[in-house]
A and B are shown apart, each in its own frame.
Chain A
Amino acid sequence: MPPRTTRPLGVLCFLGVPVSRTLRRETAYAVLAPLPGFICGIALLELLAVSLVASVTLVGLLLLVGVLFAARATGALHRGLLRGLLGEDIPAPPKRKRRGGGFLSGVRARLTDSDGWRAAAFGVAYAPLGLVLFAVAVGLRLYGIAALAYPLWWRAVETDGRPGIGLVGDIGLDTWPKALATALVGLAVLALSAWSTRALLTLVVRPTARALLGPGRLADRVTVLEETRALAVQDSAATLRRIERDLHDGAQSRLIAVAMALAGARDQLSRASGDSPQLIRGRALVDSALADSRTAIEELRDLVRGIHPPALNSGLDVALETLATRAGLPVAVRLDLPDRPPEAIESIAYFCTAELLANVARHAGADRAEVEAYVKGGVLRVTVRDDGRGGAGPRPGADTGAGGTGLAGLAERISTVDGRLLIDSPDGGPTAVTVELPLPAQVPRTVPQESR
């Protein structure tokens, strides 16, 4: 059996009397939030209008940046009001990460800040919405209270010599039955006020605020995906480096030790006098084991070079120079890399250059090539030029050579870090292929681990 107090409380709630926590919150919000909301909304609207008109000039664009900043501040104010008064907790949209780049790209980034624009939309839309909310919650309720109390005060006022309030024409609320009927109407108005306040808040204000003031779902997702992808790329680079180190210190060293021991054994056996069948067989076995171990060492070395070229440990410049020396044709190297790019970027730049130089040696019919690498505007550019016959282009599946996925494969690899592959290769040559890799501005390079 439900407690007895529920029913009268329910009636009070129905009439909008702030007896419950929720009702008190809704009332507080409807009373206090509209005024600052209205002022901010109107101010935003005017600022937006002015700066949009002026935005044909750079000054206007800068002003617009300021307005978007103000819009974000307004959004924060609204979130504060919603949280403090209404108990609606909306998380702030994530701060825009500043990518590298110049002044203009910074301005562009701020102008395309969707969070700022959504906050502006909410701020402007809230000005009339807040007014309606205030009118419904406060104005309507005052009318209701006045009407409900009419039987108490109708005799105290006079209209055209008759007691009570005169309605349109001759009809006056001048009798007790009419006064009681007015009180009933007052109850209905109170109920309407309470109902429509709640409806406005739950159907309009809260969802709109959540949609416009919170983190945009798409933007949020993109941010998360960008971060996780960056981590994955970084992590795989670190893993490859660790595997290389483990192989170098572990399996490779041990294999070399085995080969040394076998070499020593062969030395001793060759000095042992006599040619018993056992001795001859022993020498043959050691020789064969030695040959196998050498092959294993060479295979392991090639494998490691494919995983993480050891030259990369000393930096991209050293690695690219090393690549150039083993290209099989004269390669001029011009590098300007004062700071080391992140490992993952270095690795991609290295393998792209390796593939491009291999292409030059195999297909281009070139006499010489050139590798150029430099960082400008937060982008690492590596260009491989040759004086060959040209006609290079991404042909997915065209290059069926072992392991070769051609330029299309390179482009895919580069796209994992939002890079680009630019190919300039007219028939007859010369060919220039440029790899552009944006450098994340604030990701610190992982410091190489000390040896175990």
Chain B
Amino acid sequence: MRIVIAEDAAVVREGLVQLLRDRGLDVVAAVGDADALLDAVDVHLPDVVVADIRMPPTHKDEGLRAALELRLRHPDLGVLLFSQYVETRYADRLAATGMSGFGYLLKDRVVDVADFVDALHRVADGGTALDPEVVTRLLAARRKEDGLSGLTSRERDTLALMAEGRTNTAIAAALGISQRAVEKHTAGIFTKLGLPRTEEGHRRVLAVLRYLDT
């Protein structure tokens, strides 16, 4: 897995590079701003990009805009946004591109290195990795709206973990229920959201997008 990192704070950038390399991951470039990120991706063609949202020159949402641009140029590229704050609108905008292979994590999640690396892999493979806080906020705000109101609390919990990008096994472990129960809940979710029975993994993404889009 080839990784490009874009982060303007040098200490964080170096720390992240070191952390990932110690884990044996292939960090091919680490840059400090959005323009350099676009160039680096064109040159190195990585599998996944880790991008800070706030970067020079205005320190607003350069990273996000670069990510949207990258998605147009390289549809298969995984993008993991990386921020010190949860701004759900950013996740919304990325999700609105209607593609899988994106993530949004708070920077301090890297402290759980294994989880972080796992999230990187998921994003690189076209999955999602949303910070639990992002998911909590989105769900709390939208629980009572639209088709989501029919979900039971177990189903909501399941969907929340699904939105973070977790597998059924991981969901079962997190909720302390059997894997069969998780499958039952996910089936319930798909039915209530009216998602067609096509490819299983794709439906998961659609369910998550439904959350983010409502």
Contact surface of A with B, Cβ cutoff 8 Å? 245, 248-249, 252-254, 256-257, 259-264, 266-268, 290, 293-294, 297-298, 301, 304-305, 310-311, 313-314, 318, 321-322, 324-331, 367-368, 448, 450-451
B interface size (C-beta, 8 A):
37
Contact partners of B9 in chain A: CB under 8 A? 249, 253, 256-257
Contact partners of B11 in chain A: CB under 8 A? 253-254, 256-257
Taking CB atoms and an 8 Å cut-off, the chain B residues in 106-136 that contact chain A are: 107-108, 110-113
Contact A256 B84 (CB under 8 A): yes
Is the CB of B142 closer than 8 A to any CB of chain A?
yes
Contact B140 A259 (CB under 8 A): no
Contact partners of B8 in chain A: CB under 8 A? 249, 451
Contact surface of B with A, Cβ cutoff 8 Å? 8-9, 11-12, 14-16, 18-19, 22-23, 54, 56-61, 84-85, 87-89, 107-108, 110-113, 137-138, 140-145
Contact partners of A257 in chain B: CB under 8 A? 9, 11-12, 14-15
Name the prevailing secondary structure of the B interface residues. helix
Knowing A259-B111, A294-B108, A326-B137, say if A450 contacts B57 (CB, 8 Å): yes
Q: 24 A–B contact pairs at CB < 8 A?
A: A248-B54, A248-B84, A249-B8, A249-B9, A254-B11, A256-B11, A256-B107, A256-B108, A257-B9, A257-B12, A257-B14, A260-B18, A260-B110, A261-B15, A261-B18, A263-B113, A264-B15, A305-B85, A313-B59, A321-B89, A322-B89, A325-B88, A325-B137, A327-B140
Contact A367 B110 (CB under 8 A): no
Contact A267 B23 (CB under 8 A): yes
Closest Cβ–Cβ distance, residue A174 to chain B (whole Å): 100
Contact A301 B12 (CB under 8 A): no
**Residue of A with least CB distance to B59:** A451
Contact B23 A318 (CB under 8 A): no
Contact B110 A330 (CB under 8 A): no
Contact partners of A305 in chain B: CB under 8 A? 85
Contact partners of A260 in chain B: CB under 8 A? 12, 15-16, 18-19, 110-111
Knowing A310-B85, A313-B59, say if A328 contacts B140 (CB, 8 Å): yes
How many Å lie between the Cα of A310 and that of B64 in the bound state? 15
How many Å lie between the Cα of A179 and that of B164 in the bound state? 119
Closest Cβ–Cβ distance, residue A434 to chain B (whole Å): 23
**Residue of B with least CB distance to A324:** B141
Knowing A257-B11, A268-B22, say if A322 contacts B88 (CB, 8 Å): yes
How many Å lie between the Cα of A387 and that of B150 in the bound state? 22
How many Å lie between the Cα of A313 and that of B85 in the bound state? 12
How many Å lie between the Cα of A368 and that of B146 in the bound state? 13
Contact partners of B61 in chain A: CB under 8 A? 314
Contact partners of A310 in chain B: CB under 8 A? 54, 84-85, 87
**Residue of A with least CB distance to B57:** A450
Q: Which of B12, B19, B138 contacts A263 (CB 8 A)?
A: B19
Contact A330 B145 (CB under 8 A): yes
Contact B58 A448 (CB under 8 A): yes
Contact A322 B87 (CB under 8 A): yes
How many Å lie between the Cα of A448 and that of B60 in the bound state? 10
**Residue of A with least CB distance to B145:** A330
Which of A253, A262, A305, A326 is most buried by chain B, counting CB atoms within 10 A of its CB?
Answer: A253
How many Å lie between the Cα of A448 and that of B138 in the bound state? 30
Known: A252-B84, A260-B111. 8 other contacts (CB 8 A): A257-B15, A259-B108, A263-B113, A311-B85, A318-B89, A326-B140, A327-B141, A448-B58
Q: Give 5 closest A-B pairs by Cβ, nearest first.
A: A260-B15, A253-B9, A257-B11, A257-B15, A325-B141
Contact A245 B89 (CB under 8 A): no
How many Å lie between the Cα of A368 and that of B145 in the bound state? 10
Knowing A248-B54, A264-B22, A330-B143, say if A256 contacts B87 (CB, 8 Å): no
How many Å lie between the Cα of A259 and that of B144 in the bound state? 37
Closest Cβ–Cβ distance, residue A313 to chain B (whole Å): 5
Closest Cβ–Cβ distance, residue B120 to chain A (whole Å): 14
Q: Which of A294, A328, A448 contacts B111 (CB 8 A)?
A: A294
Contact partners of A268 in chain B: CB under 8 A? 22
How many Å lie between the Cα of A328 and that of B137 in the bound state? 8
How many Å lie between the Cα of A267 and that of B15 in the bound state? 14
**Residue of A with least CB distance to B14:** A257
Contact B18 A264 (CB under 8 A): yes
How many Å lie between the Cα of A313 and that of B89 in the bound state? 13
Contact partners of B144 in chain A: CB under 8 A? 329-330, 367-368
Contact partners of A304 in chain B: CB under 8 A? 85
Closest Cβ–Cβ distance, residue B140 to chain A (whole Å): 6
**Residue of B with least CB distance to A293:** B111
How many Å lie between the Cα of A252 and that of B108 in the bound state? 10
Contact partners of B59 in chain A: CB under 8 A? 245, 248, 313, 448, 451
